[in-house]
């Protein structure tokens, strides 16, 4: 049934629904890692530290959940399961890792769904945010890179994790001196996920020519990324609470300065530093270090810069 639905969408896309493909390609962009990271970073630095912390905390949890489920289910992508599936455009090359559950759907549920779950958010905004989650999830099916169960599970689990994160943040507010416990437990869980992904066995299926269909060790790379991001956030979050304590209650000019400088440095880290780290440290270790630095910059290093630069301190 799942492959049949994708084939039906593919037939519609080829037979006259091609005009929607570009729209859904843009919607899927809203669920990409760099997109959600930039949105959360800007909210954290410039708009609402409390909201940004909640989204980053929930997203970090979702990356762990997504990673452990992917290497447990080891579900192949639709075009591997059925060669009749032809993903749209470059969607095939940008879809990494195993298929279940959808990472884009969980990203969208984390950021947009998390915003919709916030108490006090206007009804109209909540509707827009939830529709965005639905459109991002559906885009993954329309483009032919995920099955219905991939996106439905991803979206539902993503929203569930954000709901639990909201409760966790309220507990932290009531017990601020126990924040280290949250960081410690989160890091322990991340280490457990990394060990599980590294030590488990993966399917080894071959095509007619004897070529390995999917290299499980490479597919687990996304799980290690999630582990690194989660650990970096928790370490940076705890350090920021203890050493920096920046505020987003600052003038608009300060917010704009933070946004401009923060994004410039973020892209410098992502475009210049990260590729060099991966070149210096090949394999999984390089991926882990580069992702750790990327998130640690967002959660701690740039807030530390804000504290010491008067134009960004407010």
Pair 232, 291: CB distance under 8 Å? yes
- Say what the pLDDT of residue 282 is: 84
Pair 143, 76: CB distance under 8 Å? no
* CB atoms near residue 186 (< 10 Å): 22
Separation of first and last alpha carbons in the chain = 56
- Say what the pLDDT of residue 84 is: 86
- Say what the pLDDT of residue 3 is: 85
Q: How many helices (H) and strands (E) does the chain have?
A: 18, 0
Single out the residue of 90, 34, 43, 84 nearest to residue 225, CA to CA. 34
In degrees, rounded to 5, the angle at the alpha carbon of residue 62 between the alpha carbons of residues 200 and 45 is 135
pTM (global) more than 0.85? yes
Pair 256, 262: CB distance under 8 Å? no
d(CA 44, CA 248): 8
- Say what the pLDDT of residue 94 is: 66
d(CA 140, CA 21): 11
Residue 23's alpha-carbon distances to 18, 32, 127, 185, in angstroms, are 9, 15, 19, 41
Sequence-separated (6 or more) residues with CB below 8 Å from residue 297: 265, 266, 269
d(CA 241, CA 53): 11
Q: Where are the domains of the chain?
A: 2-313
Tokens 């219905």: give the residue.
148
- Can you give the C-alpha Rg of the chain in angstroms? 20
Per-residue pLDDT tens digits of the chain, which is 314 residues long: 688 888 888 888 887 767 788 899 899 999 999 999 999 999 999 999 999 999 999 999 999 999 999 999 998 889 888 888 888 877 666 666 788 999 999 999 999 999 999 888 899 999 999 999 999 999 999 998 999 999 999 999 999 999 999 999 999 999 999 999 999 999 999 999 999 999 998 988 887 787 887 887 778 888 999 999 999 999 999 999 999 999 999 999 999 999 999 999 999 999 999 889 988 988 888 889 999 999 999 999 999 999 989 888 87
d(CA 96, CA 131): 25
* CB atoms near residue 31 (< 10 Å): 28
Helices 148-174 and 49-73: angle between axes, nearest 10 degrees = 140
- Say what the pLDDT of residue 65 is: 96
């Amino acid at each position: 049934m799942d492959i049949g639905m994708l084939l039906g969408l593919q037939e519609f896309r080829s037979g006259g629904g091609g005009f929607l493909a570009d729209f859904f390609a843009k919607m899927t962009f809203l669920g990409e890692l760099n997109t959600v990271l930039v949105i959360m970073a800007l909210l954290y630095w410039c708009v609402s530290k409390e909201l940004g912390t909640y989204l980053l905390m929930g997203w970090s949890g979702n990356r762990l959940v997504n990673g452990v489920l992917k290497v447990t289910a080891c579900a192949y992508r639709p075009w591997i399961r059925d060669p009749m599936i032809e993903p749209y455009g470059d969607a095939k090359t940008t879809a990494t890792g195993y298929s279940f559950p959808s990472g884009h759907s969980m990203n969208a549920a984390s950021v947009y769904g998390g915003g919709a779950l916030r108490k006090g958010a206007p009804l109209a905004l909540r509707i827009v945010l939830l529709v965005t989650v639905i459109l991002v999830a559906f885009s993954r099916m329309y483009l032919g890179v995920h099955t219905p169960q991939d996106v439905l599970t991803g979206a539902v689990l993503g929203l569930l994790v954000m709901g639990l994160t909201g409760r966790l943040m309220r507990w932290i507010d009531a017990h601020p001196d126990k924040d280290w416990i949250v960081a410690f437990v989160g890091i322990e869980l991340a280490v457990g996920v990394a060990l599980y992904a590294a030590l488990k066995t993966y399917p080894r299926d071959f095509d007619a020519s004897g070529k390995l269909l999917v290299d499980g060790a490479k597919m687990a790379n996304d799980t290690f990324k999630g582990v690194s991001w989660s650990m970096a956030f928790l370490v940076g979050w705890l350090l920021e609470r203890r050493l920096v304590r920046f505020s987003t209650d600052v003038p608009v000019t300060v917010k704009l300065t933070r946004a401009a400088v923060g994004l410039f440095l973020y892209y410098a880290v992502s475009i210049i530093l990260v590729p060099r780290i991966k070149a210096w440290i090949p394999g999984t270790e390089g991926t882990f270090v580069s992702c750790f630095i990327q998130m640690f910059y967002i959660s701690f290093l740039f807030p530390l810069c804000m504290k010491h630069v008067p134009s960004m301190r407010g």
